[in-house]
Amino acid sequence: MKKEKIKILIIDDDPKVSWLLSEGLSDYEFVSARDGSEGIQMVTTEKPDLVLLDIKMPGISGLEVLERLSRLPSRPEIIMLSGHGETDNIAKSKHLGAAEFIHKPFEVKEIEIRVQAVLEAKKLREEVRELKSQLKSRNQYEQFIGDSPKMMQVKSIIEQVAGSELTVLIRGESGTGKEIVARMLHNMSTRADEPFTKVNCAAIPRDLLEAELFGYEKGAFTGAHKTKPGRFEVANKGSIFLDEIGDMPLELQSKLLQVLEQQEFVRVGGIHNIHVDVRIICATNKNLEEAIRRGGFRDDLFYRLNEITVFLPPLRSRTEDISLLVNHFLKKYGDLYQKPTMALSPETMSKLLQFAWPGNVRQLENLIKQVVVRGDESIVTEMLSNLIHSPEYVQTPDLPPSGGSPAVLSESGNVFSLKHRVGAAIANEERRLISEVLTKTNWNRRKAADLLEISYRSLLYKIKEYNLNSIK
């Protein structure tokens, strides 16, 4: 281990100890305190890497100093020094977290060896902790599938902001993975070992939501028999995930804004401010800008929540991820139901690639789960055709055999949009007719354009748009 500027605090009433060590061990920086109270103070002001602590001192004893230092959130390594090495003191010191116990009189060399060993062990522990946290991040990614450019962008934002204290707003349609992202942001942060609390603002009746989030005092309302802390208090030092934030009632939005600005709030029926240290992560599939225009969402809260936005793209806009997700779910449910991992045929996979997935990854996951449970991929065709004929689904023109763009929902996400449905039907008919005329004219594009009574250029454009292909 490199002995560069390691700072050691000696707490001993005997000045000889400090003199001996600083003379004998020139590679370390020594500071010293003559009694326990001075020593405790110097731990905070000097921030030493290690403390050599005498047990028998006037005033506070070494064991008491050790006990007080153990209450600090983080403290340096401590080696006890004593001429009175009864087994009782050794046991107590170990129990209170001392790393070593050295008998007086000691050899300077012995101190050097023990100090090195203690600091090396500390460094190893830190390395293990760091590796564990890296492993945790990697495990997070193993559950978060997608390497399309859009998802790579999402992952890079997550990596950049996970360690920060910034409030994150996660947006995206239902089933795109907003909750997974919220959990990843917590698990990859320094708060990972502290609580992660999820509150679904849409699922809790509005008159109960305030008490749920901020807690209540005994007698605050009928049924409040005893004081109860809210989710913000439970999440202290950790993260709170406010899901469906777009459904939070206006009156609560101002209270939330106060927590965001001052990290303080008052319980329902309470008078005292409660201070919390909580990181806030929110998610919504609602159009918050629209809600602001309608007066249903505070714009100041929106700007405060929106410090960082992670936008999860719909599955239909990143079809490259579908086969990865399919294989991930085949393995996940194969393992869960103790069945051999299935592989889908290229024909089935191509059907999955061409579907619009209005329910996004959740819908794909449910479908694959059923394939695994029933051990039969042929149900994909049956289920997709049921879904396509359901009113929630809007399809673009028939897909050419060679592939083409996947079916899409209306841009606004409104599946009943008349404009979009009619547009899709017209496009469907247009594609069919052009394809028929091209076959009839043996792919003579000029003849086909004449017959269709459109310009040659528009025909070329439409052939490209509909991905029509002369090779069948």
Ligand X SMILES: Nc1ncnc2c1ncn2[C@@H]1O[C@H](COP(=O)(O)OP(=O)(O)OP(=O)(O)O)[C@@H](O)[C@H]1O
Q: Provide the 8-state DSSP code for 319.
A: G
Q: Segment contacting ligand X (CB under 6 A): 177-185, 272-280, 333-341, 348-356?
A: 177-185
Q: Segment contacting ligand X (CB under 6 A): 144-152, 257-265, 369-377, 418-426?
A: 144-152
Residue number with CB closer to ligand X (235 or 315): 315
Q: Which of 141, 144, 393, 443 binds ligand X (CB under 6 A)?
A: 144
Which of the listed partners (ligand X, Mg ion, none) does 397 bind, with a CB threshold of 5 to 8 Å by partner kind?
none
Strands of the sheet containing 77-82, edge to edge, are 29-33, 7-11, 50-54, 77-82, 100-103
Q: Segment contacting ligand X (CB under 6 A): 44-52, 172-180, 234-242, 382-390?
A: 172-180
One DSSP character per residue, 234-249 reads: HTTTSEEEEETGGGS-
Which of the listed partners (ligand X, Mg ion, none) does 427 bind, with a CB threshold of 5 to 8 Å by partner kind?
none
Residue number with CB closer to ligand X (145 or 424): 145
C-alpha to C-alpha distance for 423 and 396, rounded to whole angstroms: 9
Residue number with CB closer to Mg ion (29 or 179): 179
End-to-end distance of the chain based on CA atoms, in angstroms? 71
Minimum CB distance to ligand X, residue 317 (Å)? 13
Does 174 participate in binding ligand X (rule CB under 6 A)?
Answer: yes
Run of H or E including 79? strand 77-82
Q: And the tokens for 127? A: 């390395």
Q: Segment contacting ligand X (CB under 6 A): 15-23, 33-41, 138-146, 290-298?
A: 138-146
Residue number with CB closer to Mg ion (76 or 172): 172
Q: Which of 304, 284, 321, 247 minimizes the C-alpha distance to 172?
A: 284
Strands of the sheet containing 279-284, edge to edge, are 196-200, 239-243, 279-284, 168-172, 308-312
Amino acid code (one letter) for 162: A
Which of the listed partners (Mg ion, ligand X, none) does 64 bind, with a CB threshold of 5 to 8 Å by partner kind?
none
Q: Are the C-beta atoms of residues 198 and 241 closer than 8 Å to each other?
A: yes
Does 313 participate in binding ligand X (rule CB under 6 A)?
Answer: no
In the complex, the residues that contact Mg ion under the rule CB under 5 A are 178-179
Which of the listed partners (Mg ion, ligand X, none) does 365 bind, with a CB threshold of 5 to 8 Å by partner kind?
ligand X
Q: Segment contacting ligand X (CB under 6 A): 16-24, 176-184, 378-386, 458-466?
A: 176-184
Residue number with CB closer to ligand X (174 or 370): 174
- Interstrand relation of 273-275 and 168-172 (parallel, antiparallel or unpaired): unpaired
Does 365 participate in binding ligand X (rule CB under 6 A)?
Answer: yes
C-alpha to C-alpha distance for 243 and 201, rounded to whole angstroms: 6
Q: Which of 198, 228, 362, 445 binds ligand X (CB under 6 A)?
A: 362
Minimum CB distance to ligand X, residue 366 (Å)? 9
Angle between helices 108-143 and 178-187 (to 10 degrees): 180
Residue number with CB closer to ligand X (325 or 434): 325
Does 140 participate in binding ligand X (rule CB under 6 A)?
Answer: no
Minimum CB distance to ligand X, residue 365 (Å)? 5
| Binding map of ligand X across residues 250-289, x = CB under 6 A, - = no contact | -----------------------------------x----
For the chain, the helix, strand and coil percentages under 3-state DSSP, each to the nearest 5:
50, 15, 35
Does 318 participate in binding ligand X (rule CB under 6 A)?
Answer: no
Q: And the tokens for 408? A: 């899409």
Close Cβ partners of 306 (under 8 Å, ≥ 6 residues apart): 167, 169
Minimum CB distance to Mg ion, residue 299 (Å)? 24
Close Cβ partners of 170 (under 8 Å, ≥ 6 residues apart): 178, 181, 182, 281, 282, 283, 284, 309, 310, 312
Minimum CB distance to ligand X, residue 363 (Å)? 9
Binding site for ligand X (CB under 6 A): 143-146, 172, 174-180, 285, 361-362, 365
